[in-house]
Amino acid sequence: MPFHPLRVAGIDRLCADAVAVTFEVPPELSSAFRFGPGQSLTVRRDGERRTYSICAPAGAAPRIGVREVPGGVISRWIVHDLRPGDLVDVAPPTGTFTPDLAAGGRHVLIAAGSGITPVLSIAASLLERSRAGASPPAGWLGRAGRRPSAGVAVLGGAEVTLFYGNRRADTVMFAEELADLKDRYPDRLELVHVLSREARESELFSGRLDAQRLRELVPLLVDVPAVDHWWLCGPFGMVTDATTVLGELGVPAGRVHRELFWVDEAPPPPVRPEALVDGPTSDVTVVLDGRRTTVPVPDGVTLLDGAQKSRPDLPFACKGGVCGTCRARVTDGEVTMRRNFALEQAEVDAGFVLTCQSLPASPKVVIDFDQ
Ligand code: FES
């Protein structure tokens, strides 16, 4: 994963514990940093990496939303110490949680807390880019990584319903940006705030955005069969609750797109490769940027940890099965993926795995990061 020093063009405080950071991209890096709505940037500092979602609409300068998390060294530095003009090591955009802007259609977005960050980018891009006759921005790639063929105009105005759960009004990230969007697109954006620790005028909008509330709210405010795509982003509990409710409502799984922001469950304990050198190993071949490298990886060690010693350029960020940065395709052999909060079923069916969560399960394994 190549990192580039980008200058901070601006920092906006969103609420007490969150900021938005806009980066200046020099002309020679503009194509590398073109992003699709819903994608993320990885930031590196002192050997630590974190992935943050882009909140800007496609075609704008990259801007990430960062909320300070307890004990989070990088988020604390960004929220409290980073200043305009500073240089930050940033890797180009990644992620497949991104809509096909050329298709328009009806979209329902369900977000909680900082899960609003990619959802804001998706909502703004859909509303902005799907004005009748508008074309997707230069360099924009759709969900499957393909640019719509030349001359394909956007079909019509996309319609967006956004359910957004927070504790209180003063913890709402991007409150102003959302209100601006609503002002600009009053007929095509339905914005529903749900607050868990603050009374609202209706009981329906007070409380956690959990399965029971979604069971009541969604059929009341949305024509479920008419929705083309559902975008879920937030903590594990909210995303799984929403997935369950959409299943109950008969929504086909292929229309539901999910991005997790954090997982309460602890990751499986890491295993140090050195601890297992005397045990059985698998020959793992990694392909990245066209270069093949074969390394022995001890049983019980993840593909990423085992191969990183020889290939320090392998991409990763969270090492927790959440961000999807370490995704690669198994082209030979067998692996066991311990957990997966990032890949969709279609990707798993196509042979993609999270290398930070996958253990070798055959004597030879080949994984391709270039696919
Ligand atoms: S590094 Fe984040 S899922 Fe593997």
Q: Decide if 132 is inside a domain.
A: yes
324 within ligand 1 shell (Cβ under 6 A): yes
Mean pLDDT (whole number) for 19-30 = 97
Nearest ligand 1 atom to alpha carbon 342? 3
Q: Based on the domain organization, do 307 and 278 belong to the same domain? A: yes
Q: Decide if 284 is inside a domain.
A: yes
Per-residue pLDDT, 104: 85
The band of 313, judged by pLDDT with boundaries at 50, 70 and 90, is confident
Q: CA-to-CA distance for 138 and 151, rounded, in angstroms?
A: 13
Per-residue pLDDT, 201: 72
Q: Decide if 31 is inside a domain.
A: yes
Nearest ligand 1 atom to alpha carbon 356? 4
Check whether 268 has a pLDDT greater than 80: no
Dmax of the chain from CA atoms? 66
SS3 of 268-311: the string is CCCCCHHHHCCCCEEEEEEEECCEEEEEEEECCCCHHHHHHCCC
**Ligand 1 centre and the CA of 34: distance in Å?**
22
**Ligand 1 centre and the CA of 267: distance in Å?**
11
Model confidence pLDDT, tens digit, residues 70-81 = 778 889 999 999
Looking at the structure of the chain, the number of domains it has is: 3
Check whether 131 has a pLDDT greater than 70: no
322 within ligand 1 shell (Cβ under 6 A): yes
| Long-range Cβ pairs for the range 134-140 (8 Å, 24+) | 136/58, 136/101, 136/102, 137/34, 137/58, 137/59, 138/34, 138/59, 139/31, 139/34, 140/34, 140/36, 140/58, 140/59, 140/101
327 within ligand 1 shell (Cβ under 6 A): no
What is this model's ipTM? Answer: 0.99
The band of 367, judged by pLDDT with boundaries at 50, 70 and 90, is very high
Check whether 269 has a pLDDT greater than 70: no
Distances (CA, A) of 145 to 100, 127, 156: 10, 21, 22
Check whether 136 has a pLDDT greater than 70: no
Q: Based on the domain organization, do 250 and 283 belong to the same domain? A: no
Mean pLDDT (whole number) for 256-266 = 71
Best mutation site among 326, 348, 367 for ligand 1 pocket (most ligand atoms within 8 Å of CB): 326
* CATH code where residue 149 lies: 3.40.50.80
* CATH code where residue 324 lies: 3.10.20.30
**Ligand 1 centre and the CA of 2: distance in Å?**
16
Tokens 């990707």 -> residue: 347
136 within ligand 1 shell (Cβ under 6 A): no
126 within ligand 1 shell (Cβ under 6 A): no
Q: Decide if 32 is inside a domain.
A: yes
The residue nearest atom 3 of ligand 1, judged by CA position, is 321
Q: Based on the domain organization, do 84 and 157 belong to the same domain? A: no
Check whether 162 has a pLDDT greater than 80: yes
Average pLDDT, the chain: 87
**Ligand 1 centre and the CA of 359: distance in Å?**
14
Model confidence pLDDT, tens digit, residues 35-51 = 999 999 999 998 788 88
Q: Based on the domain organization, do 118 and 86 belong to the same domain? A: no
Check whether 281 has a pLDDT greater than 50: yes
Per-residue pLDDT, 277: 53
325 within ligand 1 shell (Cβ under 6 A): yes
Nearest ligand 1 atom to alpha carbon 321? 3
Check whether 332 has a pLDDT greater than 80: yes
CB atoms within 10 A of CB 350: 12
Check whether 346 has a pLDDT greater than 60: yes
Check whether 276 has a pLDDT greater than 80: no
Q: Based on the domain organization, do 207 and 340 belong to the same domain? A: no
**Ligand 1 centre and the CA of 316: distance in Å?**
5
* CATH code where residue 47 lies: 2.40.30.10
**Ligand 1 centre and the CA of 218: distance in Å?**
31
Per-residue pLDDT, 271: 54
342 within ligand 1 shell (Cβ under 6 A): yes
The band of 141, judged by pLDDT with boundaries at 50, 70 and 90, is very low
Q: Percent of the chain at pLDDT above 70?
A: 88
319 within ligand 1 shell (Cβ under 6 A): yes
318 within ligand 1 shell (Cβ under 6 A): yes
Per-residue pLDDT, 170: 86
Check whether 354 has a pLDDT greater than 70: yes
Q: Based on the domain organization, do 281 and 325 belong to the same domain? A: yes
